[in-house]
Amino acid sequence: MSIRFKLIIPILLVVLLLLSSLSILFYQLVKQEMHHKELSTIEVARIAMENSLTSREVAEEVMEREMIGQSVLVSYIASLPNTDFSLI
């Protein structure tokens, strides 16, 4: 073997080993990052579902209070003497 091959082959092997190591490292990092992204997406979806359920319950409570308030107001107006029902 000539001196050229004695220099080129080890350099080529080192470069190949380095590139392989870097590609394995990048693959692992991307895989880990994708897993974290999936978990974040699932967490956001869970929070959104909880918020929608909570907002629905609060809206129902507000509507119930509003209906009670309206019925109290109608009862009050109806109990007044000389009530004109055109106000209702």
Domain encompassing residue 23: 3-78
| pLDDT tens per residue across span 23-59 | 999 999 999 999 999 999 999 999 999 999 999 999 9
Would you state the pLDDT for residue 78? 78
CA 23 to each of CA 34, 36, 42, 78, 86: distance values in angstroms, whole numbers, following the listed order: 16, 20, 29, 81, 81
Does 43 fall in a domain?
yes
| pLDDT tens per residue across span 78-88 | 787 776 666 55
Does 84 fall in a domain?
no
pTM for the model stands at 0.52
Total structural domains within the chain: 1
Does 88 fall in a domain?
no
Does 83 fall in a domain?
no
CA 66 to each of CA 4, 7, 58, 60, 70: distance values in angstroms, whole numbers, following the listed order: 91, 87, 12, 10, 6
* End-to-end Cα separation, the chain, in angstroms: 108
Residue owning tokens 């409570």: 61
Would you state the pLDDT for residue 75? 86
